[in-house]
Amino acid sequence: MDTQTQRILTDEMIAEIREMYKHFPVKKAACIEALKLIQKHHRWVSDQAVQELAEVLDMSPDEIDSVATFYNLIFRKPVGRHVILICDSVSCWIMGYEQIAGYLKQKLGIEFGETTPDGRFTLIPICCLGTCDRAPAMFIDEDLHRDLTVEQIDAILERYP
């Protein structure tokens, strides 16, 4: 790696990853947790982060990337400050998903997988949030919003500057 390039993984993050893999039979088994740690600090996992993590876990960058791209909640491109995960399961479809999704797209001016021009929100569909009895539902960051109606959306979005 070019010595002029600023590292993504700080010494503290590397120490935390090394502590993680002590709890697994092999270093590679800590890959998902390490990717989640990187994302927690940077909101997404860049190619450079994949390279650096590969060095720490004694894996190839391709192996790291294979894991990262398999899991849809590991983001391999930049996302907004707030990620909206809207459930598109059958239960949510029946209970009004299409209206909620349509309103979010219109309100934010983006399609699924896109980020608002101000970098505030990224909108992503997800197959299930496990709250079918309270559909339709969405997560914003780590907050679950259930029993959604279009009328609630503006007030919910206002909570996320």
Q: Tell me the Cα Rg of the chain.
A: 18
Nearest of 148, 160, 77 to residue 115 by alpha carbon: 77
Q: Is the CB of residue 144 less than 8 Å from the CB of residue 156?
A: no
Residue 22 amino acid letter: K
Q: How far apart are CA 34 and CA 21, in angstroms?
A: 9
* End-to-end CA separation in angstroms for the chain: 36
Residues annotated within a binding site for [2Fe-2S] cluster: 87, 92, 128, 132
The one-letter amino acid at 98? E
Tell me which residue of 155, 141, 153 sits closest to 103, measured CA to CA.
Answer: 153
- Binding site membership: which residues? 87, 92, 128, 132
Token pair recorded at residue 27: 């270093």
